[in-house]
Amino acid sequence: MKFHAVLDIQLHAGIADPQGSTIERALPTLGYEGISQVRSGKSIHLDIDADDAAAAESKLSEVCDTFLTNPVIEGASIRIVEAG
Amino acid sequence: MAPRIGVVRFPGTNCEFDTVEAIDGLGGNGEILWHGDSSIGGVDAVVIAGGFAHGDYLRPGAIARFSPIMAAVTEAAKNGMPVVGICNGFQVLTEAGLLPGALQKNAGLKFLNDWQTLRVETTNSVLTSASAVGDELNIPINHFEGNYTCSPETLSELQANDQIVLTYVGNPNGSVADIAGVCNEDRNVVGLMPHPERASHALLGSTDGNVLLQSVLDSVSVPA
């Protein structure tokens, strides 16, 4: 079966996020108040062939650990969004 | 015989010829190693040069670490061969797990291209053996993702093991503990963000990079 997945990659808590900090500092200058704790990351969308959703998630978890994230600073949450 | 220093070239590397030129200028024998080869061809030491290996896609070094030559570089490093990563090469070595920590976007999100004063923190590494602790070196930086980061535990280990090799005088990019370069526990693998090959001739404005490259040559030279 083919599954669609969205990988949400974020820096670990405690790792400085220069991009998020810059966005947060920019918001008040544009008149947007009250927005805090901005963290930026990246999302990767893909399709994967697997027997079931659990197998797809397990395979993607391995791919994230070896390649799609740098585990020293980042982690990924995996969302299987639809089964085709 | 002049020590043979292999300089790794990935698609997107752009400092390999400058690095070879600087090594040759010091009496070494620099030679280009292609990333797609699975052997390092019997060289005495390896330098991973600066640039944008594989376009820096995904993360700097993330794809380069899987190039065929990296298996040979990793094995050589484990066997004690000097391996130095300059700028993008430093990023490749952290992604490959040969050096601790990681390199993040610069604080301030600016690409930095400037002269930078560095301080030698230890001479116990293949990159700094010919220098002295406290030496201040004027060497250019040229990076967007040079902001060294690591966990507090890793930082404590780096400090306890004397693995912080070079620091910035006036931190340009937000690196933790002003770190500009680190080595592994065995001290034969070193990474640094600044470019010693760009400070290797008076015409370039500084020769302060030569003491670092000379250290690498010294580490593999057989005494006459």
| Interatomic CA distance for residues B196 and B216, integer angstroms | 12
Residue B102: pLDDT over 90 = yes
pLDDT tens across B183-223, in order?
Answer: 999 999 999 999 999 999 999 999 999 999 999 999 997 66
Q: pLDDT-derived band of residue B169, with 50, 70 and 90 as boundaries? A: very high
Residue B139: pLDDT over 80 = yes
DSSP annotation of B38 reads S
Residue A18 is nearest to which of B62, B101, B106, comparing CB atoms?
A: B106
Residue A83: pLDDT over 80 = no
pLDDT tens across B67-78, in order?
Answer: 999 999 999 999
| Interatomic CA distance for residues A70 and A56, integer angstroms | 20
Q: Do B62 and A70 touch (CB under 8 A)?
A: yes
At residue B1, the pLDDT reads: 81
pLDDT tens across B33-57, in order?
Answer: 999 999 999 999 999 999 999 999 9
Beta-sheet pairing, B83-86 with B189-192: parallel
Q: Do A73 and B149 touch (CB under 8 A)?
A: yes
**Does the annotation mark B87 as catalytic?**
yes
| Interatomic CA distance for residues B49 and B41, integer angstroms | 17
Residue A73 is nearest to which of B102, B106, B109, comparing CB atoms?
A: B102
Residue A82: pLDDT over 90 = no
ipTM: 0.87
Model pTM? 0.94
Q: Do B105 and A68 touch (CB under 8 A)?
A: no
